[in-house]
Every structure is written in C-alpha cells, then in structure tokens.
Amino acid sequence: MSTKKKIAYSVAALAVVAGIAAFGRLWEVMDSSRSQVADDTTRLADFHSTDSAAIKRGEYAMRLGDCAACHESSFAGGYKISTPFGELQTSNITPDRETGIGNMTERDFFNAVRQGRGNHGFLYPAMPYTAYTKMSDADMHDLWAYMSTMKPVKHKVDENGGMAFPYNIRLAMLGWNFLFFDNKGFTPDGGKTAADDNMDMINRGKYIVDGPAHCNVCHTERNALGGEVSGRYLQGGSLGAWYAPDITQNPHTGIGDWSSEDIALYLKTGSNGKSVAAGPMAEAVEHSTQYFSDNDALAVAAYLKTLPSSGKTAPQAFALSAASKDQGALTYEVNCSACHGMKGEGITGMVPAFAGNNAMQNDPTNMINAMLNGARAPHTAERQTAAGMPSFAWKLDDSQIAGILNYVRNSWGNQAGEVTAENVASLRKLTGAADKLQTNKP
C-alpha cells in the first residue's frame, strides 16, 4: 500500500473515531431518559394537586431554586437579564395555556428544568438548567405539584427579543450544550473528610449548592462563550455591573475567616457583621436563602467549609500619598462616617464594617456600584428593617469616588489594589448612573 493511501486511511479512521465520539457526546447532552419518571399525559393547566404535603415540599424546592427572583412574584416572567450577548426576559411559568406553560406535561417540565428544553426550543443558560439538572426526582415531582397551585396569568413575553444575531437563534444552544453542559444528576461525595465526618450533612449542602441554589452560576468565572472556566469552581465571577466573590476557604479573597454560623446567618438574614448582601445576592437572600431551614443553611456552610482555598494571594496594597490619604479621609468623613463609622466600624446587623473586612479588599466592582447607584440590603423575616445606601453619583465625580474607595480599602488594617477614576467612569457608563451635578459659577 502506498504512503498516500496509508495517510488517507489513517485520516478516514480518525474521522470515524471523532464522529463516534461527537455522536456519543451529543447523545449524552440530549439524553432525557431521567424524565421518564414523570407523567406524560396530563397538562399543567389540567392538573391540580391535592397532596398538601407535596405542595408544601414543592414550595420549599421553589425557594431553594430561587424561582421568584427571576420569574417575578406572579411567576408571569418579564424580568430583564443583561448578558454579554444581549438582553433576555424571563418566561411566563404560570399554568396559562397560551402564554405560560399550561400545555406542558410533567415530563415536558422535567425536560425544561433539568435539560434546558422548553416550549420554544433550547433554553439559554441564564435559566440555570446546568445546575438544576442535579435536582432529584422527588424535588421535581413536588415542584410540579406546587406549580399546579399557581394562578394562570396571561402575559406574553418575547424572551429572546433583545438578543443580537446570531445569539437569538435558539438552535445554537445545542452547540453550547455540546461544549459546556454536564447533563448528569447529583452524585454525593463518599467517605469521610478531614473537615467534618458528617457526610450526610455535607452532601445535603453540596446538593443545594450545586443543584437548586445554583451558586456556581454566579460565583464561578465564565469564558467568552459563557461557559464555566474549568478549575475556577466558586472562586468568583463577574456579573457585569456586580461581582460574585470567591466563596472558597481562601482567607484572603474568600470566606475562610467565616465560621459555619457566619455563613448560615448571612444566608438567613443577608448580614453577618462581615458582609451585607446587595444587588443580585440581596435578591437571592430575599427570595430564596432566608427561607432555608436552619439545618439546610448549616448544611450549605458545612459543604463550603470543605472546599479548598482558591489559592489566590492577598491583594497588594496601594500606597496612598499623604495628600491623597488626607483628602480621602476628609471625603469619607463627610459622606460615609455617619453610617460606617469614623474608624470603619459599621453598625452591627445593618451596615457592614470596613475595618479588617476581606470583602472590601478584593474586586472593587460592588463597592463602585454601591457608590454610584446606591444599594439596599434584603428585607428578611429576621431583619425587617433593610438598611439602604444612597447614590453618590450626583454628588461625587469619578476621582472623588475612587479616592474614597482607595482610602477605605487601605485603612484600618485593609490592603487592596488601586481603584482608578477610569474604573469608576466605566461602571458609571455601564449602569447608566447620573453624572455629578455641575453648579453654574457666576
């Protein structure tokens, strides 16, 4: 056989092997056989569960999954989600036949939630089916029972009307799933760990974190196509105008100095003396984590305490000049000290302390956003009075905001990198925050 023929046969053989591998991967992505446990005959609009226990458990599963934060309290959708690829609107998931999911069977519902295949084709991963795929059959059955109790709302939503071409083509999501979707159920860890020998509790926490609570969707870094970056699990991720921080056991950039009780308290109230939830996390606390049972909140903490440190090093301090430090201190005293204290001590249960606070020393996105647009802590059953922070966009220019943040992030035992006026200007533009008011000089 000639050399050319040998090469041709080798290439052909490799192509066949690659084709088989691709087909196998596609089969894995598309496999919805787990949904065969669900009813395939009765549509949601015709189903009205009378199992009060299942309905109650289903409501809890809904809270674990934080459905209300995106689909609104009526579950009629329309909540806008900005992505690097355009704007999405959340779908109507009430039992309305025309504009909601009333014509779905339970099996259709399972496929939508766990495989990302909805009424109009493939779903975008802004709907976190990549995490919900780990939800148990029991939780899904109960969630279906709860969905049957919802009031149908006629509200048509153009879900991907704000997506730019070609991202508005839902079929393209098949390629995304091929690359990034791990279509597998939850697998508990086995054996004992050095951190805690209560594996049942740890695995319950892991199930909540990786499944319904979908923590990785925000707290894991994403690549240019929106897929999770391998090896960066829960090590922090950008949300555009907000930043979901590192929640590993890193003592510098993560929550390594939080106790299990600190973590549980934060989940239940949105504040633990070290940090106050704001932005998307405040929504998560308000709509979801405050409803966690005490045991589940501690289970999440138990699991997070087993995670290895992200390995990120402590931020390098920015050396403020004496003049900059004095100016920053003065601007801070005038604008911030009434709530945050002259020494950054904060107000327990309401206003976060700045002194020695790791959360203030890492990625500055959230602090810049709060300065520009204000922030509101979540309203919870245990903390009825949600603290609020006003916007300073109208009062301070980009350099002044950067000066305050550099002072705060490098005082009272803190050390952090420089925040520049350009950083502030960029976020001011991104969020549409107002410019500083200009006075007319005579």
Give the list of residues 6+ apart from residue 129 with CB closer than 8 angstroms, or none: 112, 113, 114, 115, 116, 123, 181
Q: Is 263 exposed, middle or buried (0-12, 13-18, 19+ CB in 10 A)?
A: buried
Largest CA distance in the chain: 94
The rounded distance, in Å, linking the Cα atoms of 228 and 352 is: 30
Backbone angles phi, psi at 95, to 5 degrees: -75, 15
Total-model pTM? 0.90
Number of Cβ within 10 Å of residue 72's Cβ equals 18
The rounded distance, in Å, linking the Cα atoms of 121 and 84 is: 21
Check residue 18 and give its pLDDT. 52
192 within 8 A of 302, measured Cβ to Cβ: no
What class, spelled out in words, does domain 199-304 have in CATH?
A: mainly alpha
Closest by Cα among 356, 343, 331 to 415:
356
- The distance of Cα 138 from the centroid of its chain, to the nearest Å, equals 24
| DSSP code, position 369 | H
Check residue 13 and give its pLDDT. 54
Helix axes 421-431, 365-373, angle to 10 degrees: 60
Instruction: Find tokens 């083509």 and name the residue.
Output: 169
N- to C-terminal Cα separation, the chain: 94
| DSSP code, position 40 | S
Check residue 55 and give its pLDDT. 98
189 within 8 A of 197, measured Cβ to Cβ: no
The rounded distance, in Å, linking the Cα atoms of 412 and 297 is: 31
pLDDT digits (tens, 9 = 90+) for 94-143: 999 999 999 999 999 999 999 999 887 889 888 999 999 999 999 999 99
For the chain, count helices (H), then strands (E). Answer: 17, 9
List the structure tokens of 21: 């591998």
| DSSP code, position 198 | -
The rounded distance, in Å, linking the Cα atoms of 377 and 352 is: 10
Check residue 20 and give its pLDDT. 60
How far, CA to CA in Å, does 319 sit from each of 188, 323, 325, 330, 417?
A: 47, 12, 9, 18, 9
Give the list of residues 6+ apart from residue 234 with CB closer than 8 angstroms, or none: 209, 215, 216, 219, 220, 246, 247, 248, 304, 307, 310
Check residue 441 and give its pLDDT. 57
Check residue 286 and give its pLDDT. 94
> For 341-420, where are the alpha helices, taking DSSP H only?
365-373, 398-408
- Domains of the chain, by residue range, sit at 43-170, 199-304, 322-431
Check residue 167 and give its pLDDT. 81
Please indicate whether the domains covering 43-170 and 199-304 agree at the CATH topology level.
yes
List the structure tokens of 304: 């997070």
Check residue 361 and give its pLDDT. 85
pLDDT < 70 positions in the chain: 1-27, 191-197, 440-442
Check residue 250 and give its pLDDT. 93
The rounded distance, in Å, linking the Cα atoms of 273 and 407 is: 21
Query: What architecture is domain 43-170?
Result: Orthogonal Bundle (1.10)
CATH number for 322-431: choose from 1.10.620.20, 1.10.274.10, 3.10.129.10, 1.10.760.10: 1.10.760.10
The rounded distance, in Å, linking the Cα atoms of 416 and 410 is: 6
Torsion-angle region of 421 (φ positive above 0: left; ψ -120 to 50: alpha; else: beta)? alpha
| DSSP code, position 228 | B
